[in-house]
Structure 1
């Protein structure tokens, strides 16, 4: 079935690396499940500090970028037949291109790292910048991933818990997988009972909206990052609400979000609440 172009697209980045291909495949299959169009982006730049004296050198670099983008489009169409796939080639950094094209997207999907960087790097600068600045949900894929497996959603008492729960339940319903809601507690024991009651009321409210989603819960003592990473070991997707430590150009991702992005073996969706 052909994707419905009236839906907001899913935007993904591709640079030819193994991890970006894994993210592209994840995005293509998600677009197929949502009947949404897919936009495959590639940002290209002259790789040296000074511009070349011969204009043909820039054209050669651009031609290589076009070849990379074309390969990405082919991969997407092969893994998600029927999805409308469009390519977007732009001069600029990968993060800038994704953020501009993703401004009207339903979701941005990218690899945890791309071409370049040192061996063993788990989270690249592009992923950090896109998570920190994008207003739509961002899914960071660490490598080849299965679409099945339960969804784990981290819950706290912040404004971000609502958007995280909404996204997690929608994903669980769409893919017909169970959902596991987790709340970590490391504060004053006297407030534990009230926090647990709030947590269970919140999950119950969302369960009523999605009665066909199988839900389990865990209210666990320990640091949020450790509790979430433990739950992520058997997950197909972890969903978090992001709480930027600053706004605008200086925005950075929260410590828990960063720890989970660095350590989770599965894709991580970061959902940012809209400003009040």
Structure 2
């Protein structure tokens, strides 16, 4: 039976190998969520005034517009191989990739992107479009990195912020869907101000501080653990850089989930320093979740 209910999973394609990897992951995600899949290619060339048709004497099917259509057709074919039960549709949309994918995120259940694509910036650790879309999307963004795996936990970064709470809720739902354990991770170095005017003591009892962090971590997970009794839950408090800790945990994870931004002096950034670093260096697929009231 073909799946055709609810908001779609949307995947962006550009003809790159990374985009086809994203299509395969997106097809599996659509099947698991029982949602349709929408394949989108952003066709920027009309904005530049570049001729789109085939040159005189060129073989049939030549030209930029035809090439764009082939990208989408190839992606649909690949998605159907992976999840034949999913309804897959595709579109070539005129415009730049970032605004098009952000517009798609308004009606999407999940947006799936490769970690890098074609063009002059393909050699970067992460594509510029992926960074921008992850920072502004109105739905969770799954960035396909590393080798997708069926074992290992769903790892979620926990810091007590509103975005972190959204990430924890998403991670529990995902762990339940996958039949996977959940590992909640909280990392700390030293106490830091979380708001303007915060006054910090000059001397700390680190044991007491660690105990408080452990309590906060357990409390952040407890309510969701009651809602998802089928999910085995572990939590880990680690003294170290939050970004480095999450990147290390990603080596054995099937998925890492982070909030788009968290606590601390950099929490006002559209994409927080921790989520930005994990986006660049994770060894597993990564989901970035924004607080719905702050998505922009």
For the pair shown, which has the larger CA radius of gyration, 1 or 2? 2
The 3 A distance-change label for structure 1 pair 238 and 50 is closer
Q: Secondary structure at the match of 1:270?
A: strand
Determine if contact 1:25/1:79 at 8 Å carries over to the other structure.
yes
Q: Which of 53, 57, 61 is the aligned partner of 1:56?
A: 53
TM superposition shift of 1:137: 0.3
Q: Unaligned regions of 5+ residues in structure 1, if any?
A: none
Q: Deviations over 1:9-28 (max 9, x none)?
A: 11101112111111110010
What is the distance in 2 between the residues matched to 1:37 and 1:93? 24
Q: Secondary structure at the match of 1:11?
A: strand
TM superposition shift of 1:118: 4.8
Alignment of 1:74-153 (within 5 A): 74-118=77-121, 120-153=123-156
The 3 A distance-change label for structure 1 pair 174 and 124 is same
What is the distance in 1 between the residues matched to 2:159 and 2:267? 19
TM superposition shift of 1:194: 2.2
What is the distance in 2 between the residues matched to 1:234 and 1:169? 18
Determine if contact 1:139/1:267 at 8 Å carries over to the other structure.
yes
2:237 aligned partner: 219
2:3 aligned partner: 3
What is the distance in 2 between the residues matched to 1:51 and 1:210? 53
Q: Unaligned regions of 5+ residues in structure 2, if any?
A: 56-61, 192-205
Q: Deviations over 1:73-98 (max 9, x none)?
A: 11111111110111021011222221
Structure with higher helix content: 1
What is the distance in 1 between the residues matched to 2:108 and 2:89? 13
TM superposition shift of 1:159: 0.9
What is the distance in 1 between the residues matched to 2:98 and 2:275? 18
What is the distance in 2 between the residues matched to 1:200 and 1:50? 53
Determine if contact 1:179/1:216 at 8 Å carries over to the other structure.
yes
The 3 A distance-change label for structure 1 pair 28 and 148 is farther
Alignment of 1:120-269 (within 5 A): 120-188=123-191, 189=206, 190-243=208-261, 252-269=270-287
Determine if contact 2:24/2:78 at 8 Å carries over to the other structure.
yes
TM superposition shift of 1:65: 0.4
Alignment root-mean-square deviation, CA = 2.2
Give the structure-1-normalised TM-score: 0.91
2:16 aligned partner: 17
Give the structure-2-normalised TM-score: 0.85
TM superposition shift of 1:246: 8.8
The 3 A distance-change label for structure 1 pair 127 and 50 is closer
The 3 A distance-change label for structure 1 pair 43 and 61 is same
The 3 A distance-change label for structure 1 pair 144 and 96 is farther
What is the distance in 2 between the residues matched to 1:268 and 1:109? 10
